[in-house]
Structure 1
Amino acid sequence: MEEHINKREAYQRMNYLYQAAHCVLAQNPENVELARFYCLTQKTISRRLVIRQDPSVKRTICKRCSSLLIPGVTATTRQRKKNRRTRFTVQRCLSCGQSKSLLNNPDYTLWIDRPEAQLEMQPDQGCSGVKWQKKKKPQPAGSKKEKQKQKEQERQEEEQQKKLQEEKQELQRKTQQEEEEKKKQKQ
């Protein structure tokens, strides 16, 4: 529980530092050093506590000098063509000269936004309580071992379903017997 609270506080701190860097540059565009300090502090917090930053935040921070990349203020933004189809957005930091190329593909989705990347809460039998586990996607059977495992899993599922059905039938029989006994007692 403490770890969850610490991460929440860290996210709040990082968010505050990111907003402060934006405000500093909005008020005085020449005050790049203070904004860079805020972004560097944000980066060190995420590194120390092993917290992932959102990709939209990471794209606006220079990897080399940790300054905030705002088009026209601290960075230049250009559109480039590689082929007829592929287009890139190239951001170049005005402080250090580092450039970033980002693909302009409207169909592209980040890994974090894909459904298979999402985590769900599943109870784990460990002593620590509930743990996060990744959703498992069924894999197509290719080798003999995989096919055997899949058949074994199917057989076990069928057995479990049969047991559940038998238990339901047994419960229904017991409830019917109890009802009949109550009726006999009333008569």
Structure 2
Amino acid sequence: MAKPKGQQGNVPNRPIYCRISYLYQAASHLAASTRQDASLTTRDRGVDQPTGANELTPDETQLRQACSRHLLTTMKTTSEKALIRLSPALKHTVCKYCDSLLIEGETCVSVVENASKGGKKPWADVLVVRCKTCKGAKRFPVGASRQKKQKFRNSTTPVEEAGVIEPATG
């Protein structure tokens, strides 16, 4: 029996979207908890310990980052198996080489580069996000609008628009 038309809010593959969202949130919680646990004081935890006892050891930090990477790898494979595209905003926060969560200042370094002659062309700025784990780099154009999909682009070429070549008629 078919579903009645007009129902709002029906999302196909809702359980898979929920699973992907949960995996991303869990990975970001693990990656962020490496910062938060070190900043908590002993009074916040309700434990009477020396001041340095609440900080994470390097082994614990590496273990949490490894668990975070595993969750992000699982998230990617889940989306690939279900043929669901991840949003660009989500993909910008994950290293495409080692699947670690990119947190500015902790797991990655961001620099704006301009490869034009002496940086004279302001439209040539590129944001380079370099992962500290694998040294991989992701590049994003700064200030440039996203190119339209091919089916929405004009079928004429820039040379035809200038009037140098007349478009073929058939």
CA distance in 2: counterparts of 1:76 and 1:6, whole angstroms: 37
Larger radius of gyration: 1
Partner of 1:54: 87
2:31 equivalent to 1:25: yes
* RMSD after superposition: 2.9
What displacement does 1:71 show? Answer: 0.9
Identity of aligned residues (%): 29
Q: How does 1:137-156 map to 2 (within 5 A)?
A: 142-144=168-170
CA distance in 2: counterparts of 1:71 and 1:80, whole angstroms: 17
Task: Pick one of 128, 134, 142 that aligns with 1:96.
Answer: 134
Partner of 2:146: 109
Provide, for residues 96-121 of structure 1, a one-character-per-residue CA deviation record: whole Å limited to 9, x for no partner.
1111111102x413658xx94xxxxx
Q: 1:38 to 1:110 in 2, by over 3 A?
A: farther
CA distance in 2: counterparts of 1:77 and 1:138, whole angstroms: 35
Provide, for residues 23-47 of structure 1, a one-character-per-residue CA deviation record: whole Å limited to 9, x for no partner.
1111114221111011101000011
CA distance in 1: counterparts of 2:102 and 2:147, whole angstroms: 20
What displacement does 1:143 show? Answer: 2.8
Partner of 2:20: 14
2:114 equivalent to 1:81: yes
Give the AA of the match of 1:19: Q
Runs of 4+ in 1 over 3 A off after TM superposition: 137-142
Q: TM-score, normalised by structure 1?
A: 0.55
Provide, for residues 128-153 of structure 1, a one-character-per-residue CA deviation record: whole Å limited to 9, x for no partner.
xxxxxxxxx99789532xxxxxxxxx
Q: 1:53 to 1:32 in 2, by over 3 A?
A: same
Q: TM-score, normalised by structure 2?
A: 0.61
Q: Which has the higher contact order (CA 8 A, sep 6+)?
A: 2
Give the AA of the match of 2:97: R
Structure 2 unmatched ranges of 5 or more: 3-9, 36-60, 157-166
Q: 1:65 to 1:89 in 2, by over 3 A?
A: same
CA distance in 2: counterparts of 1:111 and 1:17, whole angstroms: 31
Partner of 2:98: 65
Partner of 1:182: none
Q: 1:60 to 1:110 in 2, by over 3 A?
A: farther
What displacement does 1:7 show? Answer: 2.0
CA distance in 2: counterparts of 1:76 and 1:13, whole angstroms: 29
Q: Report how many residues are paired.
A: 120
